[in-house]
Every structure is written in C-alpha cells, then in structure tokens.
C-alpha cells in the first residue's frame, strides 16, 4: 500500500524530488480547525474513531496556525469574524490550502443577511468548496481527498520560500468605512 | 389580591399624574406610559416590597416605520417573589430618539440597552457605557430599523484584502 511495497526486494527506489515531496505533503496534511459554528461539530466527528481522519494522515489538528497547512473553515463567517480568519490564514506557512466547509462558508448559506460574508472567497483563496448544511463527516473526508489530489499534482518549485517572519499580514483598518 | 389588579392600582396610587395604559392580552400584562417616567416607575416596581420585580429579563424596541411615534421601547421584567412577568412600554419618537437609562435600577439593563442602541439607534440618557454591542464601533447604521436593507449597505463593513 505504501512505500514498503516498493522496498521489499531491493531496499531502494528512485523517484523525482517533486514526487516524493508532494507525496509526503499530501500524506500529512495538518489541519487548522477553524471551527466557527455548527460545522465544527461534524469536523470533530471526523476526528473520532468511526470516521477517523488519521487514516489520511490528518489527525494532527494544530491549534496554532504556524504548524498547519490546511485551514478548514467550518462555519458561518461574519464580517466581524472575517479579519480574524484572514489573520490566522496569513500566519500559516506556505504552502497552504483552504477548505470552505458547508453552505454558510461557501456562499453565506441560509444567512442571507447584512452581517454574514456571502462566501469566504471574498477574502480568502479557497481550494475546495464543500456542500452540505452541515456536510456529513465522510463528505469532509472527500474534500480532504480532493485536497490530497491537488497537493499530489504540485511541484516543489511552485511555492515561494518565504520565511515566517517575512509574511505580510494585510488587515483593513477597522475605522475606515468605504461608502459607495 | 391578584397581581394583575394590584400592579395598576399601586402604580396609580404612587403616580397619580401619570397616564397608565394597561392591557391584558393572552394572560400577559402590559403597561404603557410616557417615557419620562420610566426610571421612577422601574425603581418603584423593583423596590416595592409587595411587587419586587428584581429581574430585568429583556429590553428591546419595536420600529413601527411609518407611525408618528416611530419606536416603542419594551421592557420585560420578572418578579422572582411572585413568579410574575410584566411588560412595560414607552414610545420614543424619531426626532427625539432618547429615553432615560434604567441601568441604575437593574445592572442587567446595561448590555440590553447597548443592544437596543446598536440595533435601533435609540440613545439611553445617563447610560454608563453606551457603545455598540454587536456591530463594529465605526458602523454608521442601525440594522433592525425597517429602512435598513436586508443585505446591508455595500461597503459599510470592511473585509480583509484577498
């Protein structure tokens, strides 16, 4: 199933550096659990033995963005919360990916209202949109597998090598209100 | 004596000059009166030993949009002693969008009045800390007013850059 299948006869194999790095990356995606509302309950269920996100190497939910490479935005993002989500995203080291989990996160969902951002892609680059209100845990695993497919196709040279302390955190000044 | 008759009777004795409009709908007692007496009446309802409305469960408002007195501020208070709920109402006009704060009577009123201010723009005189409750402090509008659009004013809430 894994590398050992290749190793049993000769003890070594040859590969491309891009392939081995992409394989390592996609097999240990560390999620940042950005649990904002009810979707977070389903996200927790993904961690339990029944669904077991550990099968995909993603059981290490890090509660500091500096150790994560996948942000699972699970819940309704309000305008007041948006700068916080963005700030946490900006603190994650490259390369990084985002799952917009659930209807609210992807499009505002049932909250068609002045207070809710109608889709987090207005301020974040989203890789996978996940339907459901909330999505079932196996659905989130499917999204994770999509992310893994995407990571598997990447090349190491695609990603800029930016030291953590050089990351530019762009936040709007809250006292500036633009009028149309 | 039944509280539903006792409360209006005691209020009329204590405040003979105030016009109390008492209504009893679906077993809920509501008393409406002029906004300038709100603090005195609340103080009396809380401190009177026979009534003891010790809990202010909610303060909110109604926007009637086109009516002359545009807003009605609503106080839902509760007497632990009698397990009795009472609703107080006072009209506030848009031109003079102010009412006295009852946060000196019930401390719980502090945040409830802030919320009402945030959502309707009704100012509470003598409030110790009248800031917005939910919306950002720089926000200029009051979302629960009837003339506020459902999807908000475009650009009035800033988003981070992509």
Residue B112, φ and ψ in degrees, nearest 5: -65, -35
B149 Cα to chain A: minimum distance (Å): 8
Which residues from chain B sit within 8 angstroms of residue A88, using beta carbons?
none
* Non-local CB neighbours of B95 within 8 Å, separated by 6+ positions: none
Cβ distance B150 to A114 less than 8 Å, yes or no, reads: yes
Average pLDDT of A62-73?
90
Specify if A42 maps to a domain: yes
In chain A, the number of structural domains is 1
Does residue A180 surpass a pLDDT of 50?
no
Predicted confidence at residue B112, as pLDDT, reads 93
Query: Picking from A37-46, A77-86, A156-165, which range would have the lowest pLDDT averaged per residue?
Result: A156-165
Tokens standing for A140? 């989130």
Cβ distance A174 to B159 less than 8 Å, yes or no, reads: no
Which segments of chain B have a pLDDT < 70?
Answer: 1
Q: Is B139 on the interface with A (CB under 8 A)?
A: yes
The domains found in chain B, sorted by start residue, are 3-125 (3.30.460.80)
Contact assessment for residue A70 and residue A99, using Cβ atoms and an 8 Å cutoff: yes
Domain of A84: which CATH number? 3.40.50.12280
Partners of residue B71 on adjacent β-strands: B63, B92
Q: Is B154 on the interface with A (CB under 8 A)?
A: yes
| Among the listed residues B32, B83, B29, B74, the one whose alpha carbon sits nearest the alpha carbon of residue B55 | B83
Q: What is the CA radius of gyration of chain B?
A: 17
Which residues from chain A sit within 8 angstroms of residue B160, using beta carbons?
82-83, 86-87, 123, 170-172
Does residue A167 surpass a pLDDT of 80?
no
Cβ distance A178 to B139 less than 8 Å, yes or no, reads: no
Specify if A171 maps to a domain: no
Task: Give the angle B69-B107-B35 at the CA atoms, nearest 5°.
Answer: 20
Contact assessment for residue B79 and residue B53, using Cβ atoms and an 8 Å cutoff: yes
Name the strands in the sheet holding B28-32, side by side, starting at the edge strand that comes first in the sequence: B21-25, B28-32, B84-92, B71-79, B55-63
Predicted confidence at residue A136, as pLDDT, reads 92
Best of A73, A76, A79, A82 to mutate (most B CBs within 10 Å, chain B): A79
Which residue numbers of A have CB closer than 8 Å to B's CBs?
A: 79-80, 82-83, 86-87, 112-115, 117, 122-125, 170-180
**SS3 annotation, A31-91:** EEEEECCCHHHHHHHHHCCCCCHHHHCCCCCCCCHHHCCEEEEECCCECCCHHHHHHHHHH
Model pTM score: 0.78
Cβ distance B161 to A123 less than 8 Å, yes or no, reads: yes
Specify if A13 maps to a domain: no
Predicted confidence at residue A1, as pLDDT, reads 55
ipTM: 0.75
The CA distances from residue B98 to A58, B72, B90, B121, B123, in Å, are 55, 11, 11, 9, 5
Q: Is B84 on the interface with A (CB under 8 A)?
A: no
The CA distances from residue A127 to A97, B133, B148, B152, in Å, are 6, 34, 34, 28
Average pLDDT of A125-147?
92
Domain that holds residue A102: 30-151
Specify if A84 maps to a domain: yes
């Amino acid at each position: 199933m894994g590398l050992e299948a290749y190793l049993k006869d000769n003890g070594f194999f040859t590969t491309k550096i891009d392939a081995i790095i992409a394989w390592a990356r996609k097999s240990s995606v560390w999620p940042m659990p950005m649990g904002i509302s009810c979707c977070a309950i389903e996200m927790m269920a993904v961690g339990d033995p029944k669904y077991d996100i550990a099968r995909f190497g993603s059981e290490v939910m890090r509660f500091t963005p500096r150790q994560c490479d996948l942000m699972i935005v699970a819940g309704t993002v309000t305008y007041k919360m948006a700068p916080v989500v963005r700030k946490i995203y900006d603190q994650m080291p490259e390369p990084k990916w985002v799952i917009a989990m659930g209807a609210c996160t992807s499009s505002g969902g049932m909250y068609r209202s002045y207070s809710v951002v109608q889709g987090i892609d207005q301020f974040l680059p989203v890789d996978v949109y996940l339907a459901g209100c909330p999505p079932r845990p196996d659905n989130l695993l499917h999204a994770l597998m999509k992310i893994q497919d995407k990571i598997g196709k990447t090349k190491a040279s695609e990603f800029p090598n930016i030291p953590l302390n050089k990351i530019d955190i762009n936040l709007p000044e809250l006292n500036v209100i633009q009028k149309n | 004596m039944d509280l539903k008759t006792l409360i209006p009777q005691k209020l009329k004795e204590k405040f003979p000059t105030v016009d109390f409009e008492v209504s009893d709908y679906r077993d809920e007692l509501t008393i409406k009166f002029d906004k300038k007496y709100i603090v005195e009446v609340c103080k009396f309802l809380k401190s009177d030993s026979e009534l003891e409305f010790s809990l202010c469960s909610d303060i909110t408002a109604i926007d009637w949009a086109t009516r002359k007195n545009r807003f009605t501020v609503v106080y839902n208070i509760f007497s632990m002693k009698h397990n009795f709920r009472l609703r107080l109402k006072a009209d506030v006009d848009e031109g003079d969008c102010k009412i006295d704060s009852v946060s000196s009577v019930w401390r719980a009123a502090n945040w409830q009045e802030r919320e009402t201010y945030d959502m309707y723009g009704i100012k509470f005189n003598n409030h110790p800390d009248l800031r917005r409750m939910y919306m950002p402090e720089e926000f200029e509008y009051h979302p629960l007013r009837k003339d506020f659009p459902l999807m908000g004013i475009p650009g009035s809430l800033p988003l981070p850059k992509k």
